Amino acid sequence: MMQTLSSEHPVLIVNAGSSSLKVKLLPQALSLLVERIGGDVNIKTNFAELTAKGIDNHESAFKVCLEALAQELPLEKITAVGHRVVHGGERFSQPTLITTEVLASIAELSSLAPLHNPPNLEGIHAARSLLSGIPQVAVFDTAFHSSLPPQAYLYGLPRALYSQQGIRRYGFHGSSHDYVTRRAAEYLTRPREDLKLVSLHLGNGASAAAVSAGKSVDTSMGLTPVAGLLMGTRSGDVDPGILLHLLRSGMTVNELDTLLNKRSGLLGLSGISNDMRDIWQAAAEGNGHAREALEVFCYRIRKIIGEYAAAMGGLDAVIFTAGIGENDPEARALTLKGLEFLGLQLDPDKNNSREIEISKPESRVKILVIPTDEERMIAEATLQAMA
Ligand code: AMP
């Protein structure tokens, strides 16, 4: 029988990064974040005072989190553990109960996500050893996009790269796009199956998804999360010839990786910050590079709205979510500038309020701001996988 998320059936959500571990118990909303594992560790929680000593791996970080949680409730009460796993390749299109075989597949997929899947696996190993007997489920960032058709996921490269090495578009932020498009359909009181939606997840990482009839049919991230929109520190799409040019000019692969992932995007273009608030501030003070960074950021999103309307053959609503999407009315306004011809009419007053619907009543296409909740989505998916 499918259990629903409730205080009788709490789910522990685990999100393990390369040097961080984020743990959250839902629905109690007890959260812990351990940063700089293996170095000068820093722990943030919303319910306890914790100090850190000798935390040099994910397992010891997890142990500290569990000791703190055990002060709040008996750990046996945890119904399941849901792990955020970045790359599920073509194998995983659903949340999946973790077995030894599933672990081996996630490890194999590390070749596609070398920065993400290995730390995700460390989180799973830690949870399996410290909470043995409690079911563990992997929820994949790529899964919601497993419905992409070949025309959207194939790159124009020799086919063998796809068939033998799995090089194709996978897309990420799946739990978020799934969650906000579900909530949008509820808000519009229409089945998601009847809607054509563009979901814009605009945080430090940013991606767009075209969701038609409840399925992701295109998305801006690709084989890796560096593709697509401009992000805080990631470049998004660039001419692949630039990469060849830089390599030929003597840049090493690691330097190129750092350039594209850590030194580009809003930070790289503005030369100021990866944080949108700093960029607006600098632009208001007359900094031209900051203004251009804003324009590139919003222009790319504007273009992708048009692209996805064309891909779906129509558009019912555009959804803004994540740090920038939820909190930055000026970025939303700049993004939507000139899109009235597509039926998108932003209401400036509502855009500056905290309302869900920020389009004018007569706007043919609705414009919605829906806070994302990836953790809740992972918790619900975890219970679904157990059923
Ligand atoms: P996320 O990755 O979803 O946590 O989003 C983080 C980003 O949201 C930050 O880097 C900021 O650029 C942006 N952000 C958060 N709050 C605001 C705000 N009030 N105005 C503009 N940008 C914001």
Mean pLDDT per block of 10 residues along the chain (387 residues) reads 83 94 96 91 90 87 94 94 96 96 96 90 96 96 97 98 96 96 98 98 97 98 96 97 98 96 97 97 98 98 98 98 98 98 98 97 98 95 93
The predicted pLDDT at position 367 comes to: 98
CB 17 less than 6 A from any atom of ligand 1: no
Atom of ligand 1 nearest to the CA of 279: 12
In the prediction, which pLDDT does 387 show?
Answer: 85
pLDDT of residue 241: 98
Instruction: Find the catalytic residue in 40, 141, 194, 328.
Output: 141
277 lines ligand 1 (CB under 6 A): yes
CA 58 to CA 60: how far, in whole Å? Answer: 6
Note the pLDDT of residue 2.
Answer: 67
State the Cα–Cα distance between residues 29 and 14, nearest whole angstrom: 13
The two domains 11-140 and 190-374 share their CATH topology (first three levels equal) = yes
40 is catalytic: no
Burial bucket for residue 156 (CB in 10 Å: 0-12, 13-18, 19+): exposed
Residue 128: which of 103, 106, 108 has the closest Cα?
103
Answer yes or no: are the C-beta atoms of 101 and 87 closer than 8 Å.
no
CA of 330 to the centre of ligand 1 (A): 12
Ligand 1, atom 15, residue with closest C-alpha: 323
Q: What is the pLDDT of residue 40?
A: 86
Superfamily of domain 11-140: ATPase, nucleotide binding domain (3.30.420.40)
Q: In this structure, which residue's CA is closest to atom 20 in ligand 1?
A: 328
Rounded to the nearest angstrom, the distance between the alpha carbon of 325 and the centre of ligand 1 is: 8
3-state class (DSSP) for residue 42:
strand
Using a 6 Å cutoff on CB, does residue 324 contact ligand 1?
yes
CA-CA distance, 127 to 222, in Å (whole number)? 30
- pLDDT attached to residue 1: 58
Distance, in Å, from the CA atom of 285 to the CA atom of 274, rounded to the nearest integer, reads: 17
CA distances 355 to 300, 358, 364, Å, are 25, 6, 18
The domain ranges of the chain are 11-140, 190-374
**How much distance in Å is there from the Cα of 278 to the middle of ligand 1?**
10
Question: Which atom, in ligand 1's list, is nearest to the CA of 205?
Answer: 2
pTM: 0.95
Q: 232 in ligand 1 pocket by Cβ < 6 Å?
A: yes
Burial of 2 (0-12, 13-18, 19+ CB in 10 A): exposed
Instruction: Please identify which residue in the block is written with the tokens 């350039």.
Output: 259
The yes/no answer on whether domain 190-374 falls in CATH 3.30.420.40 is yes
Q: Rounded to an integer, what is the distance from CA 253 to the centroid of its chain?
A: 25
